[in-house]
Amino acid sequence: MVEYLDEIFESAGVIATPAQMEQIGNDIKDGLEMEREMYYNSVVSRTPEKCVKCQNLESEIERLKEEIGAYRDSVKKRRNATEVWIEDGDVRYL
């Protein structure tokens, strides 16, 4: 690390003592490690957050599922059926 810094500092015209360079090198290393850790955490251990659009669509799907389930149950009751499904746009039951 210090070797690269030496060149970087030189090309930027910055003069630093070996101790300062060591310090800066360690700070940069820590910073990079922290960034890598944060990236790792965000990718691996956190489930991605859903946007409002997806959340709305999911609740819409849940609502429709419940509606279909309720409709299916009412057909089962009325027709004394065990299976209810839609085929070519018609309600079928067994």
User: Where along the sequence are the contacts to Zn ion (CB under 5 A)?
Assistant: 51, 54
Exposure string for 58-86, b = 16+ CB within 10 A, e = fewer? eeeeeeeeeeeeeebeebeeeeeeeebee
Which of 38/54 has CB closer to Zn ion?
54
Q: Which residue is nearest to Zn ion (CB)?
A: 54
Which of 54/64 has CB closer to Zn ion?
54
CB of residue 50 vs Zn ion: minimum separation in angstroms?
A: 6
CB of residue 51 vs Zn ion: minimum separation in angstroms?
A: 4
CB of residue 42 vs Zn ion: minimum separation in angstroms?
A: 17
Per-residue tokens: 81: 């059926």
Which of 53/77 has CB closer to Zn ion?
53
User: How big is the CA angle at 35 (ends 29 and 41), to the nearest 5 degrees?
Assistant: 135
